[in-house]
Structure 1
Amino acid sequence: MNYSPKKFAVIGAGPVGAIVAAFLAKGGYEVTLCDVVSSLLEPALNPGIIIEGVDSLQARVTKVTTSVDDIVNDLPDVIFVTVKATAIPLIASALENFVGEGRYVVSWQNGIDTELDLAQHLGRKSVMRAVVNYGCVPLSPAHVRIAFHHRPHFLQELDPDSRDAAIGICDALTNCGLETRHTDRITDMVWRKSVMNSCMNAICAVTGKTMIEIIIDPILFNLVDSLIKEGVAVARANEFVLGSDFYPYCVNYIKNAGNHKPSMLQDIEAGRRTEVDYINGKIVEYGAQAGMATPYNTMIRGLVKALESR
Structure 2
Amino acid sequence: MEQIKTVTLIGLGAMGVFFAPKLDAYLGKGNFRVLAGGARRERLESTGVIVNGINHRFAVVDPEKEGDPADLIIMAVKDMGLDQAILDIRNQVGPSTQILCVMNGIDSEERVAAVYGWERVLYSYMRISIVMKDGVADFNPEAGKVHFGEAKNLELTERVLGIKELFDNSGIKYGVDEDMKRGMWFKFMCNIGENMTCAMFGVPFGSFQVSRHANEIRYQAMREVIKIANRLGIALSQEDIDRQEHTIMNLPFANKPSTLQDLENGRKTEVEMFAGKIVRLGAELGIDTPVNWMYYHGIKLLEEKNSLIFHKREI
TM-score by length of 1: 0.86
- Whether the 8 Å contact between 2:228 and 2:287 is mirrored in structure 1 is yes
- Whether the 8 Å contact between 1:133 and 1:149 is mirrored in structure 2 is no
1:51 aligns with 2:44: no
User: Could you say which structure has the greater relative contact order, defined with CA pairs below 8 angstroms and 6 or more residues apart?
Assistant: 1
Structure 2 CA distance for partners of 1:41 and 1:188, relative to 1, 3 Å: farther
Structure 2 CA distance for partners of 1:250 and 1:102, relative to 1, 3 Å: same
| Match in the other structure for 2:10 | 11
Instruction: Pick one of 247, 251, 256 that aligns with 1:261.
Output: 256
Structure 2 CA distance for partners of 1:42 and 1:105, relative to 1, 3 Å: farther
Give, in whole Å, the separation in 2 of the partners of 1:168 and 1:238: 31
Where do 1:275-290 residues align within 5 Å?
A: 275-290=270-285
| Match in the other structure for 1:236 | 230
Give, in whole Å, the separation in 2 of the partners of 1:203 and 1:152: 23
Structure 2 CA distance for partners of 1:157 and 1:58, relative to 1, 3 Å: farther
Structure 2 CA distance for partners of 1:93 and 1:225, relative to 1, 3 Å: same
Q: How many residues align?
A: 297
1:196 aligns with 2:197: no
What percentage of aligned pairs have identical amino acids?
A: 24
Give, in whole Å, the separation in 2 of the partners of 1:291 and 1:24: 45
Which runs of no fewer than 5 residues in structure 1 stay unpaired?
none
Give, in whole Å, the separation in 1 of the partners of 2:224 and 2:108: 21
Give, in whole Å, the separation in 1 of the partners of 2:44 and 2:132: 11
1:153 aligns with 2:146: yes
Where do 1:116-195 residues align within 5 Å?
A: 116-141=110-135, 143-146=136-139, 149-157=142-150, 163-195=157-189
1:32 aligns with 2:26: no
- Whether the 8 Å contact between 2:186 and 2:236 is mirrored in structure 1 is yes
Residues 232-256 of structure 1: CA distance to partner in whole angstroms, max 9, x if unpaired? 2221121112366311112222222
Q: Compare CA radii of gyration and give the structure with the larger one.
A: 2
Instruction: Pick one of 210, 215, 220 that aligns with 1:226.
Output: 220
CA-atom RMSD in angstroms: 2.5
Q: How many Å apart are 1:151 and its aligned residue?
A: 4.2
Give, in whole Å, the separation in 2 of the partners of 1:96 and 1:119: 13
Secondary structure of the structure 2 residue equivalent to 1:73: coil
Give, in whole Å, the separation in 2 of the partners of 1:117 and 1:195: 20
Give, in whole Å, the separation in 2 of the partners of 1:32 and 1:97: 13
Secondary structure of the structure 1 residue equivalent to 2:27: coil
Give the aligned residue type for 1:33: V
1:64 aligns with 2:60: yes
Residues 155-204 of structure 1: CA distance to partner in whole angstroms, max 9, x if unpaired? 124699x9312221122123212122333411111110010010111121
Give, in whole Å, the separation in 1 of the partners of 2:262 and 2:224: 25
TM-score by length of 2: 0.85
Secondary structure of the structure 1 residue equivalent to 2:260: helix
1:270 aligns with 2:270: no
Give, in whole Å, the separation in 2 of the partners of 1:284 and 1:147: 34
Give, in whole Å, the separation in 1 of the partners of 2:130 and 2:192: 17
- Whether the 8 Å contact between 2:64 and 2:91 is mirrored in structure 1 is no
Give the aligned residue type for 1:307: L
1:74 aligns with 2:60: no
Give the aligned residue type for 2:299: V
Q: How many Å apart are 1:273 and its aligned residue?
A: 1.5
Secondary structure of the structure 2 residue equivalent to 1:131: strand
Which runs of no fewer than 5 residues in structure 2 stay unpaired?
308-315
Give the aligned residue type for 2:25: K
1:307 aligns with 2:302: yes
- Whether the 8 Å contact between 2:191 and 2:274 is mirrored in structure 1 is yes
Give, in whole Å, the separation in 2 of the partners of 1:205 and 1:149: 26
- Whether the 8 Å contact between 2:72 and 2:99 is mirrored in structure 1 is yes
Structure 2 CA distance for partners of 1:77 and 1:23, relative to 1, 3 Å: same
